[in-house]
Each structure stands twice: as C-alpha cells, then as structure tokens.
A and B are shown apart, each in its own frame.
Chain A
Amino acid sequence: MKVPISWLKDFVDIDLPIEELVHRMTLAGLEVEQVRYVGLPLPEGKFEGHTSGHRQVETNITGLAWDPDKIVVGEVLEVMPHPNADRLVLCRLDDGQKEHIVLTGAPNLFPYKGEGPLDKPLKVAYAREGACIYDGHKPGLELMTLKRTKIRGVESNSMACSEKELGISDDHEGIIILDDDAPVGMPLVDYMGDAVFDIAITPNIARNANILGIAREVAALTGAELKEPSYDIAMDGPPIKGRVMLEIRNPDLNPRFVLGLIEGVKVAPSPYWIQRRLRLAGMRPINNIVDATNYAMLEIGEPLHAFDYDVLVKRAGGRPLTIFTRLAEPGERLTTLDEVDRVLDEFTVLVADKAGALSIAGVMGGAESEVNENTTNMLLEGAAWNFINIRRTIAAQKLSSDAAYRFERGVHPAMAERGVRRGLALVARLAGGIIAEGLVDEYPLPPVDPTIEITPNDVERLLGIRLEAEEMADILRRLAFVVEVDGQTLRATTPDHRLDIGQGVVGLADLVEEIARVYGFDRIPETQIADTIPPQYGNPLLEHEERVRDLLVGLGLQEVVTYRMTSPEREARILPPQAPPDDRPYIRLANPIASDRVVMRHSLLASVLEIVERNSRVRERISIFEIGPVYLVGENGGLPEEPLRLVIALSGPRAIPSWQGSDVEPMDFYDLKGLVDALFAGLQLRAVRHEPVEHPTFHPRKCARILLGEQQLGVLGEVHPKVVERYDLPGAPLVAADLDMAAILAIIPESHTVQSVPAFPPVLEDLAVVVDEDVPAGAVENVLWLAGEPLLVGVRLFDLYRGEQVGRGKKSLAYSLVYQASDRTLTDNEVVKIRAKVIKRLESELGAKLRD
C-alpha cells in the first residue's frame, strides 16, 4: 500500500521527521518496506533510531530531492514556434524572478502554439540551470544536471519538467501542468514535495489498507489527533427515493448495499493534485468521475462502483429501476470491464437489474453499465460483501481488482455509507453535478461490534507488565475504541471500521495485542519463564539418529540432505530397465512446481544416487550418506507413513592417488560392508548378519541383506550394472546400502555391558582350512565360534587363497585365532584340545581340510 505523506497529513498532523515516523510505524506492525522521496529532502544516509539510540536505517530509501532554489513553480505566458524545428516550441516563462525562453517538445503545449500571450497562463514545474533531475529520455532513472546547451540554434539552460524528470511517475508524455492556484516562484518542494511510504498490509490490518487507516495508526502512535473527513454532504437534488429500488437476496453474502445518485456531472480530466496523488498511490488517473471513486477508495478503504444511471434506466425499459444482488444462475455469463466473457459460478454474487447481471459484486463491473466520457448521471454503489465468498470468486475467476483486494480482506459494512458519501462529495467537487437527496440503503445484516471487558490483570497475565486502567483506555481510545472505565475494568467497544476484533477470550487477546503494539514492544521487559518446568521427555529416537550420524561421520562419510520431491521417472532409474516397476501409490502434488518434482519420494537411495551422479563430475572419490524420510501411502490413502531410511553410497578409489602410493583400487562391496559393520558395532548391534539376497537395484550375486534375528534391516551391494548405466557415471563400481533407519533406531539398546579386560595372556594361533568354493566364509566362521566357545575370543580371516595349491573348486581360508580364559593362563594342552575340536567340527560339518 503506497501512502503519500501529503495525503496522510490531510488527516493527522505529523511533526516527527519522516525517518522517525517510519521507525515507529515499523515497530508497531506497519512495516514500511520503502520510502520514496518525491521532492522532499532525503535523510543524510543514516539517522538516530528509536529504540536503540544507535545509528540505523530502517527501510529501503529511494527518490529525488528537489532543490528549492533551482526547481520552482513557473508560469508559461506564451507558446511560440521554434524557428528551426517543427517538433519543438519555445515558451516565454516567468519563474517569479524574471522571464526566460524555454525550449520544449512537450506535446501538451502544442495546442497553445502561436496563440500569442495566453489569457490563462499555464503553471509548470520549472527547473533552472544546475538543477539535478532525472533524464526523461533515458530508460530507468538516470540523474542529470541541467546545463546550458544549444538545440537547433536556440540556447537553452532550463526546462519545464515532466513527471518522470521529477521522479513522480514514469510519465514522460508531456510536461506537468499544475493547477491554477500554484504560486509562481514558490519552490516546487514547498508546493508539492512529498514522500511515499510503501507499507506491507498483513491480513490482520486490512482495515489499514487506506490513507485514513494509516493516519489513525499514526495518530495512535504519536498521540496526535485524527481529523476524520466529514461525511456530511450537500444533497440538493431531487430525492433518489422512488427512482431506484433495491433488493438483497442473500444478506449473509451481502450484508449491506448503499446507492447514491449524482446528476449533471461533466466528465473531464481531474485537477493535477488528484492525478498526482493517484499516481503516487499507484493508480492511473482516468477522468474526474472514475478518479473520484478511486480516490475515495484509497482514502477511506471502501471500494465504490459507479454505474451510468441512464444506461440502467434504459435497460429498465420504462419500468422502475430495481437493483438486485443475487447469486448467479446456472450458466449465467457476464462480460466484465476487462472484456472477458465470463461464465459465472453458482456462488458468484452479482449486482443485477431486471435485464441481467451488471457486475460481479465487489470484484469487477460489467462493460455495458460502466461510466464513460458521456456519462452525465451517475449511480454510486458502496456495499459490504462476505470476504470468503469474494475470495472464492476471485480464485475461481482468476480475477483481481483493487476493489477485490479490499473486499477479500473484509470491509466493515459501516464503511459502505461513508464510502458513498465521500465518493459523491468528491465527484461533485471534481465533476460538478447535483447530488440527489438521500441514499438508498439496505442493511439487513449489521455486524456486532464486540465489546470486550479487560483489566490490568489480563494485560499483566499475557504481557508481563502492569499498566494502569486509564493508560490502557487511553491507548484503546487512540485506536477509536469507545471505552468505559469502571474501577479496574475497561469495557471497550470496537469501532465500526474494523472486523478483526473477536469476542470473549479471543477479543481479549486482540485488545492485548493492540495495547502491546501501541505501548511499544521495546518497553516490555525481558524476563525468564517463572512457570514450573514441564515433565522432561527427551527424544530417544532423535538422539539415536544423531548417534548414527556421528558414527558415520567418524567413519569418514560426508552427509548430504536432498530434495524430497521427485518424479516416478527419476526414481525408476534405480531399477534395471526390465525390472517390474514400482507400482506403489505416491503422494502426488496437485500443484507441482516443476515436472520433475511431482511426487514425494519412495526411495532415499534414488535421491542419493542423483547426488553421486552430480558429484562424479567434480570428485573422483565419493563416500556419502543421508538419513531422511520416504513417503509411503497406506492402502486407504490419507496421510502417509514417513519412515526414516539411511543410505550410504561409495564410488571411486579407496584413496586418492598420492605420492606415497595409496590403495587406489575402486571401493567395493567389502569397503561398504566394513562401514556398515562398524556402524552396527558402534550401535552395539553386533549380532547383525549378512545373507545373500536378490534385489533389483543390485547385482544379483553381489548383494546382501542385513538381519538381526529375523528382522531385516536393509540391503547393501554393488549397484546393478544396468542401473549404473542409467546414471551419468564414470563407470567405476558403485556400492550402496539402503537401510531401514526407523527399524534400526527402534532396536538400538539404551546401554550395554562391558567385558572386563583380561588379566591373563591370550594364546594366539593361526589356522588355515581348505573348503569347497561354495561354502561361505560365514559358515566357516560360525563353526569356529561354535566349536571354540567359550575359550575362543577372537577370529580374524587374514588370507583367502584360490589356486593350484588347493585345487580347483576349492579355497583356503586362513584365520588368526585368539584363545583366552578369564581366570587363568591357558595351558598348551587345553589349546591343543580346542584346536582338535575345531578342526574336527570343520571337517565333519563343512568337509574342510586342514591346510599346512
């Protein structure tokens, strides 16, 4: 919302420097996003802040100051042809000090060319030599200083300015022609210097989306008096009563509808001051009657709609004119002002007459009944509409307007009458005409303006400060509440321009907010919570998750965090082309932002492999992990499960080649298994085991599932070559683990028992056995443990050999074994016995042969 300070000053005196005012407004919830200086001097870079007493700048500050000595009101006395150029004219101009000849190409002076001295001289914005203004011929805002030049043989050192040159708007069609009352020679900044605040209007302060609303806030914050405009207007024409009937069919959607009539208006351009204010506020001037309605809307916040009365009378075809507000009929259409032929929804409220729809209520008028340059009699509508229905309507019609912007945020029905009165007064002032006596006013559903009881205790309970009842009353009265104080109790009645104050305990909170905001958040002290400390629950699952994260980082893995939106096509890449597709239902976005982010992911592995792919262009060696959710829809739809997964991916050499000769072999399944085992060991889940398994993403013979008891905790393996092919990877083997983090977190023991450090020396011994190729090493190790217990305490495979020495189809496994008793030193005899037992069981159970 753009607010020129000159307009604000119509309703409230402002003594504060602009910067200070901006600061106070910002702290009180009227966030001033930008101040654009239009003539008034800019602050010197920085200034004293309010709360801090520190040098601060609050807001984005832009604009142009007008030098009072160099930019003044001038008067064009005569417009003469240029001797050498048809597209230029020469002006005889008085700047209050002397006459100058000024050169211009402004088309809006051409009609006066060669007419001799003007009967009514034209007031203009005159910039003298040395004035600093924007260059009107360049795009954007580029400063220039006026210098003495010669254009086509005529000397020129000054000019009459356009709005663009003075930074008022981007209009450079012609020069500014000021209103006749502008005093010649007056510095222009004194005549119309301004500054425009751009204020963010949050939904709760929709009532302030107008100049008067902001003025009311300023008055409350500064203690100045609010000067409300008068709604008493001269109504000298024949009464409206009897000439227009009104019928509201759905009061809940249209609680109030007010019509006024003005006759004999003369459509013309608005005076310059109106045009300038509209432009500064971001609207385009059209003509005096349209401008008057827009001006009234900007000023007090009630959107108005003007009908050409004669068109309506004609449509009534001699019968009395009746205006209805009603819901659209099935299939009903209306061509709106923007020349779109619209099919209306069944919830669209229309303003209509007997001949059909006239406008989409509160949003946009129809083309036929709109006022135009030939309008002489004008019917002015001010109404109140259900804001939710307005929102549905503009959403369905994909339509917006300045009126809808306000109505969709809620406008109090009391404003309807004020708006019509203010609008009629402005039309009469700008376009002449006589206002018909009285208004047609249907008000079937007046809102209740809540009255709230509030005490200093309430304020203390919520804010932690003690205010006197009178101090609270004073703040609320400054915001136009009607307040009765009865001892310690205030009864505050909501003013009839706002709809944001609730009833009961909600209304109480609303008032506390108003008091806090105006009192100043900065004046509320800092305290520590005195309330009892709640029961402490902690979050064991998250603590476990963080432990996993620490373990993996300690193992040298880099954590990644990926996008959780993807597409089925992207996720399909983790399956080989012939594999059956993932046909589980997805959480699918109704409004995706991009075609490759349309669902919530099923697979964390797919997300992580994309990161491997991306980084493979910049890193030879990649070792990453992610902990994150996937989104699995249940059979009955609704909210999905969001179980956590853990994915680890390794690619590239075991170590980066270095001057010492590193192990640069590609990382393989066993690198990954080592990490995974270290993770589980770190979590005290030592009993996990690996079993071969087939999984479509992985190489069918190089994949394992991890089990604890019968519970499956995930898979790990070498990614299937046909999957690797679907990624842009340099071709090194890619190994990955996809683990069920939720399951793992649930079984991590809270604590574990530590074994005593042995006091007696262990016996170390090597044992090599030859087994058939298809006997898994895990089986050998299993037998070792079973046969060796309880004295066998360590088993480490240190060699795996295949070759001539052991024969085809055989392999040799060499283990380093540790025997240990906790209460004695083992004798040779004991060790020989265990060894014999171990060998015997290996032979009998696995057909192993001792290798010497």
Chain B
Amino acid sequence: MLERLTELEDKALAELEQAAGQADLKAWKVKYLGRSAELATITAGLRDLSKEERPAVGRRANEVKNALEKAYEAHFESLRAETLDRSLREERLDVTLPGRSVSHGRVHPANQTLRQIYAIWAEMGFQIYLSREVESDEYNFTLLNMPEYHPARDMWDTFHTTEPGVLLRTHTSPGQIHVMRERAPEPIRVILPGMCYRYEQITARSEIQFNQVEGLAVGRHITFADLKGTLNAFARRMFGQEVRTRFRAAHFPFTEPSAEMDIECFICGGEGCQVCKRTGWLEILGCGMVHPIVLHNGGYDPQVFSGFAFGMGTERITMLKYGIEDIRYFWGNDLRFLEQF
C-alpha cells in the first residue's frame, strides 16, 4: 500500500509537470485530489486496514496529499504568472478602433444660451420671472406707454389674434408690468425670459419667434450710471473681460433715456468685418431708465422710484458666438445642427 502511495505521488507529480493550462490543471486536481480520486479512496479505506498498517499508511497518505496540494498550488501560481505574463506580452487592442457609441443628449443651443444668461444674472441678484406669450394689447403696448395708434407701435410688427385685444407678445416687456403689479412697492431685480413673436418673413436673418431676455431693476436710487455698470458687468461675463461696450442714444417708448448697448465686435476685434457690417460694433441689447408712465402703471410712484430695463434677443447672441449664419437653424431642429453643441 505504501508503494502504491509513492507510485501515485510520482505519477501525479509527473502528470502535473505536463499540465499546460487551466483546464489540464483542473482535470488533474479532480483526478488526484478530488472526492473520488484514488488518494481519497485510500484515505476512506483506512478503517479497513489492519491496526498495524493503518498509522503508517494514514501518515503516508496525508504526506502525499499535502505534497500534491502544495505542488498543485505552486503549479497553479506559476501557470497564473505565466498566463499574465503572456497576456501582457501578447494581447493588445487596436486603440484606434471606435469606442462603443452612447446616446448623447444635449440641451438645445437656444436654451444653452438662456441658461448661461440666467446664471450670470442670478449671480448679480436678478431672479427669473416668467409671463404669458399670448398677451393683451393693453400689457404689450398700452401700459408700456404706447396707446392705441401710437406711432411707436410701428416699431413692432405684431401678430394679432382673431380675439380683439389679444396678440402674441412682441417682446417680454409685458412681464415688466406683471411683475411690478405683483411686487409693488418692493424693490425689484428680475430677468424676464421667453419666446416672443414678430410678424416677419422667415429668412436667414429674421424669425417669427425668438427668445428675448428682458431685465428690470426698480428701487429708490437706481440710476443710468447703475444701468451702465450692471450691463457692462454682464457684457464682460458674457463676452469676455476685455470686451468694450458703448451706449448709443436710442428710442423705446417704455424707457427714457433709452440706449442701445453695442459691444466691440469680437470677431474682428473692432477692425470691421462682415458680421459687424464693417462697423466694428455689434448691437447687443436695448436698455434705458424705466419710463415714468410705465413705473406708474406698474404701481410705483415715479417721483420716488426709478429703475432700469433692458432687453436682448438671445438667438442673435448665440449666432454671434458660434458664427451661425442662418437663424432658421434654431427652430428647424435639424439634428446635424443640434448635435454640434
């Protein structure tokens, strides 16, 4: 029996030497160390042996088992090391093959710009106030110091509805009246974003609907100098710290004095180019001190309160920023356009 065990050990160790891979190794383990291996059978058969034989055979069987297990461990380790070694040496990827595609979501560019603008104004304490798109003539015009037949109404090409006195807002300015009437006499700092409508042919340069962001600050000590400081701070955040601005006198019925803020063309650096029509300046927004009649209509005493307001078309800003040449891309929603943002 003892010889048998030695034979078994030799045979097993010899076979282990031949085991070339994980599969061989596994089979070897089943064959020599498994439940039904000969060694296990011998161990199980110990009780059938004579008392004299039993201790020696038992000890020897145990020795063989330990030796085989140890050899197995060693062989397993060396095989693993060899496999790893080989994989490090031989396996490789073509890193230029494309990666697995993922579905990539994006915010619409018009809303990306709005979010950027919201964030800048939020930091300056201007919160967002939303109001309706289908408006009354009263809020869109009359309360903004444009009574019926006022020539200034010609400045807006208006979509009217079949309901008398109901129109599509031509600007977000009606929101000024809404927010003032809601909050008077508290001071106000809000921006009023949203979709506006103009009766215009749709061309590369003009759209029937467009996002506008209006701003309104009302308080007891607000000045035109504050307007300049605040809008310049915005311009520097939006267009770069180096951007230069200028304020041109302009006319809006709901502000006085009124101005238009131009920024130095960031495409040509003010040298004059196609985009700025060779003027060196880009018209970015209209602004001014809130007209006393508008303050009054909002519930503020214009002798005590003052305020400034501004408004900008945000698709135009997006177009300037990305060199977009056709405003129709925005609502056309061609994925080949949208996927570039």
Contacts and interface: CB of A to CB of B under 8 A. Distances in A.
B249 interface: yes
Contacts of B220: 531-532
B333 to A, nearest CB: 4
Contacts of B209: 563-565
Interface in B313-338: 330-336, 338
A534 interface: yes
A531 B187 contact: yes
B151 A408 contact: yes
Contact of A558 (B186, B259, B338): B338
A810 interface: no
Interface string B120-164: 000001011110111110000000000011111011000111110
Given A559-B106, A658-B100, A464 B224 contact: yes
A57 B223 contact: no
A509 B289 contact: yes
A609 B223 CA distance: 49
Contacts of A629: 133
B281 interface: yes
A391 B149 CA distance: 7
A203 B289 CA distance: 18
B171 interface: no
B257 interface: yes
A462 B155 CA distance: 26
For A51, A387, A539, which residue has the most chain B Cβ atoms within 10 angstroms?
Answer: A539
Given A27-B246, A465-B225, A528-B233, A631 B334 contact: no
B257 A590 contact: no
Contact of A590 (B161, B195, B201, B293): B161
Contacts of B271: 46, 55
Given A205-B251, A527-B226, A553-B107, A590 B292 contact: no
Interface in A639-676: 639-640, 642, 655-656, 658-660, 662
Interface stretch (A228-236, A292-300, A511-519, A842-850): A511-519
A590 B133 contact: no
A639 B134 contact: yes
Contacts of B97: 659
Nearest to A557: B105
Contacts of B247: 27, 521-522, 524
A52 B270 CA distance: 11
Contacts of B201: 593
B102 A539 contact: no
Given A527-B225, A542-B130, A535 B186 contact: yes
Given A461-B306, A614-B334, A52 B244 contact: yes
A851 interface: no
Interface in B195-236: 195, 197, 199-202, 208-209, 217, 219-226, 228-230, 232-233
A659 B133 contact: no
Contacts of A206: 151
A529 B258 contact: no
A463 interface: yes
B104 interface: yes
B214 to A, nearest CB: 15
A731 interface: no
B128 A542 contact: yes
A603 to B, nearest CB: 16
Interface string B90-117: 0000000110111111111011000100
Contacts of B274: none
A776 to B, nearest CB: 29
B248 A27 contact: yes
B7 interface: no
A257 to B, nearest CB: 22
A611 interface: yes
Given A614-B334, A629-B133, A642-B133, 14 more contacts: A26-B248, A52-B244, A52-B264, A60-B278, A509-B257, A513-B256, A529-B217, A539-B127, A557-B103, A560-B333, A587-B161, A622-B335, A639-B135, A662-B100
Interface of A: 26-29, 31, 46, 49, 51-52, 54-61, 202-206, 387-388, 391-392, 408-410, 460-465, 505-506, 508-510, 512-513, 516-517, 521-522, 524-539, 541-542, 546, 549, 552-565, 587-593, 597, 600, 611, 614-615, 618-619, 621-624, 629, 631, 637-640, 642, 655-656, 658-660, 662
